[in-house]
């Protein structure tokens, strides 16, 4: 009787202890994982542009300087042509940006944008949001092989001014032949972070002080077919002095995006080296609703990275032209929706988020909540098993003792 009462109480106490232990361990783990890196951010729009009252023709340039103890990350976001994010990592906290605006806006020579001293540059890479593709998914297979409409070249879009708020900036654009974009737009929002954390907005990507986040959304655009689906083409550009190898990996997760157990990563490293220099990382999921909730989630997948014509990329992106003498370009397509999923027309909205940074991408670990559930799930049966064993042993002993007395009676 006494043992039967005691078992659940000590079981509960032991699982509680395990929960606490796991929570403390996992908080300590995330604390020591390097999220202590901090950077001081400073934001400048069109740095060095001679007349502050006007803006440069054909697109603006945002410079976010993220200064660490002994290094600097320069984030450059530009709408001269296709929206482009250039990331330059230097080994000094005093590197600076120099723009020759006359050459920069003419977009026909390289070297008009420099990070100085040039010898301090450890790594650079650019991400070009090059094209938006649309296809008529007549058979609802989500295979963008045929029935493609003419692509929207983002390099020829009409882009709005950059709307700044702290270290983030929003850019919206419409196609020049604007019948389908009459009531809609394609927007990008860049956020740069001074320290590690998790984004407020779904899918709540984990970030560090070495990364930035770009959200891309397509809002209110008139699809060219009722069954239209979209793809976004991205180009990753590296310099000749740091050729980048690109690969895609997957890992396991998580509680913030239920049922999405993957993270896609597009990594750059030097030939033959395993050291990761930079990355693009995303959850293979997009949202079909303005209020990103789980019900609006739609899976996305990507094509294999393919080498691209560097001349085409440089022509599309003013920033790539200005910074790289010999760009090396690799591209891939991210496609939204699987066979059977609702089409774009159902909500006329699509939002996708990607993390872009230098060094290794942040890795999700199990959260305290998941660890606690695991502790309860695994710990409780263990404890019950042990206590049950003990209880059975005691019962046997008692029975044996009782049996030993019986013959006397």
Ligand X SMILES: *[C@@H]1O[C@H](CO)[C@@H](O)[C@H](O)[C@H]1NC(C)=O
Residues 287 and 313: their CA atoms lie apart, in Å, by 28
* Least distance CB 294 / ligand X (angstroms): 22
Contact set for ligand X, span 111-140 (CB under 6 A): 119-120, 133, 138-139
What sign has the CA pseudo-torsion 317, 157, 201, 264?
A: negative
Closest CA to 86 of 157, 5, 245, 192: 192
User: Pairing relation of β-strands 276-282 and 264-269?
Assistant: antiparallel
Binding residue for ligand X, selected from 46, 208, 287, 313, defined by CB under 6 A: 208
- φ, ψ (nearest 5 deg) of residue 151: -70, 150
Distances (CA, A) of 118 to 15, 78, 79, 98, 124: 57, 21, 24, 11, 11
Q: Which residue is nearest to ligand X (CB)?
A: 331
* Beta bridge partners of residue 38, listed in sequence order: 195
Residue 109 engages ligand X in binding (rule: CB under 6 A): yes
Taking CB under 6 A as the criterion, the residue among 83, 359, 368, 379 binding ligand X is 359
Question: Does 71 contact ligand X by CB under 6 A?
Answer: yes
Question: CB-wise, 233 or 254, nearer to ligand X?
Answer: 233
Q: Is 183 in the site for ligand X (CB under 6 A)?
A: yes
Give whichever of 267 and 383 is closer to ligand X, judged by the CB atom: 267
**E-state strands within 91-167:** 96-99, 113-116, 121-136, 152-153, 158-159, 163-165
Considering only 80-88, 222-230, 310-318, 369-377, which stretch makes contact with ligand X by CB under 6 A?
222-230
Tell me how far, at minimum, the Cβ of 107 lies from ligand X, in Å. Answer: 8
Q: Which is nearer to ligand X, 1 or 275 (CB)?
A: 275
Q: Give the residue with the Cβ less far from ligand X, 15 or 95.
A: 95
Torsions phi, psi for 233 (to 5 deg): -95, 130
Nearer to ligand X, 18 or 128 (CB): 128
Q: Could you tell me if 266 and 279 are in contact, meaning their C-beta atoms sit under 8 angstroms apart? A: yes
Q: How far is the CB of 301 from ligand X (least distance, A)?
A: 12
DSSP run (H or E) holding 299: strand 297-302
* Contact between 210 and ligand X per CB under 6 A: yes
- Which of 27, 38, 25 is closest to 208 using CA atoms? 38
Which of 22, 344 has the CB closer to ligand X? Answer: 344
CB 157 within 8 A of CB 175: yes
DSSP 111: -
* Site residues (CB under 6 A) for ligand X, limited to 161-180: 178
How many C-beta atoms lie closer than 10 Å to residue 399's C-beta? 10
Based on the shown chain and the rule CB under 6 A, indicate whether residue 333 belongs to the binding site for ligand X: yes
Contact criterion met (CB below 8 Å) for 190 and 168: yes
Only one of the segments 18-26, 36-44, 164-172, 294-302 lies at the binding site for ligand X (rule: CB under 6 A); that segment is: 36-44
Rule CB under 6 A: say whether 40 interacts with ligand X.
yes
Compute the least distance from the CB of residue 176 to ligand X, in Å: 7
Buried b (16+ CB within 10 A) or exposed e, 343-362: bbeebbbbbbbbbbbbbbbb
60 backbone dihedrals φ, ψ, rounded to 5°: -105, 170
Q: How far apart are alpha carbons 126 and 148 in whole angstroms? A: 27
Site string for ligand X, 246-285 (x = CB under 6 A): -------------------------x--------------
Q: How far is the CB of 1 from ligand X (least distance, A)?
A: 56
CA distances from 339 to 188, 226, 232, 259, 335 (A): 27, 15, 18, 17, 12
Q: What pairing do the DSSP bridges indicate for beta strands 245-249 and 211-219?
A: unpaired
Binding-residue total with ligand X (CB under 6 A): 45
Question: Which CB atom, from 35 or from 219, has the smaller least distance to ligand X?
Answer: 35
Between residues 15 and 367, which has the closer beta carbon with respect to ligand X?
367
Residue among 7, 21, 49, 68 that touches ligand X (CB under 6 A): 68
Q: Measured from the CB of residue 18, what is the shortest distance to ligand X in angstroms?
A: 29
- Orientation of helix 368-405 relative to helix 2-32, angle to 10°: 150
Among 20, 148, 325, 399, binds ligand X (CB under 6 A): 148
* Stretch of 17-25, 249-257, 286-294, 328-336 contacting ligand X, by CB under 6 A: 328-336
Residues that bind ligand X (CB under 6 A): 34-35, 37-38, 40, 67-71, 91-92, 106, 108-109, 119-120, 133, 138-139, 144, 146-148, 158, 178, 182-183, 196, 208, 210, 222-223, 226, 231, 233, 243, 271, 303, 306, 331-333, 345, 359
């Amino acid at each position: 009787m006494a043992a039967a009462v005691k078992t659940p109480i000590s079981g509960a106490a032991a699982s509680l202890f395990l929960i606490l232990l796991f929570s403390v361990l996992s908080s300590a783990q995330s604390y020591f994982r390097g999220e202590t890196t901090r950077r001081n951010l400073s934001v400048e729009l069109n740095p060095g542009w001679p007349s502050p009252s006007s803006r440069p023709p054909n697109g603006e340039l945002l410079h976010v300087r993220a200064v660490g103890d002994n290094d600097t990350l320069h984030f450059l976001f530009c709408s001269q042509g296709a929206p482009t994010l250039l990331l330059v990592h230097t080994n000094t906290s005093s590197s600076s940006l120099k723009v020759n605006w006359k050459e920069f806006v003419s977009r026909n020579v390289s070297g008009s944008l420099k990070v100085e001293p040039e010898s301090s540059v450890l790594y650079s890479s650019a991400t070009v949001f090059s094209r938006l593709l649309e296809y008529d998914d007549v058979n609802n297979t989500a295979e963008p092989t045929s029935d493609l409409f003419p692509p929207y070249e983002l390099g020829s879009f009409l882009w709005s001014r950059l709307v700044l708020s702290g270290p983030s900036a929003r850019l919206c654009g419409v196609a020049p032949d604007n019948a389908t974009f009459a009531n809609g737009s394609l927007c990008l929002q860049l956020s740069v972070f001074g320290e590690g954390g998790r984004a407020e907005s779904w899918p709540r990507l984990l970030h560090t002080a070495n990364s930035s986040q770009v959200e891309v959304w397509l809002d209110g655009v008139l699809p060219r077919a009722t069954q239209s689906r979209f793809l976004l083409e991205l180009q990753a550009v590296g310099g000749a002095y740091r050729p980048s190898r690109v690969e895609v990996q997957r890992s396991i997760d998580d509680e913030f995006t239920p049922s999405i157990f993957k993270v896609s990563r597009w990594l750059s490293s030097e030939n033959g080296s395993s050291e990761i220099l930079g990355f693009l990382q995303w959850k293979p999921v997009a949202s079909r609703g303005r209020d990103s909730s789980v019900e609006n989630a739609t899976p996305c997948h990507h094509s294999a990275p393919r080498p691209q014509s560097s001349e085409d990329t440089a022509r599309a992106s003013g920033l790539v032209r200005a910074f790289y003498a010999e760009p090396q370009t690799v591209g891939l397509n991210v496609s939204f929706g699987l066979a059977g999923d609702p089409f774009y027309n159902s909500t006329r909205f699509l939002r996708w988020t990607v993390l872009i940074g230098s060094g290794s991408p942040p890795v999700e670990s199990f959260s305290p909540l998941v660890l606690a559930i695991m502790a309860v799930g695994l710990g409780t049966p263990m404890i019950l098993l042990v206590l049950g064993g003990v209880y059975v042993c005691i019962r046997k002993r008692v029975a044996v003792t009782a049996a030993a007395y019986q013959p006397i009676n």
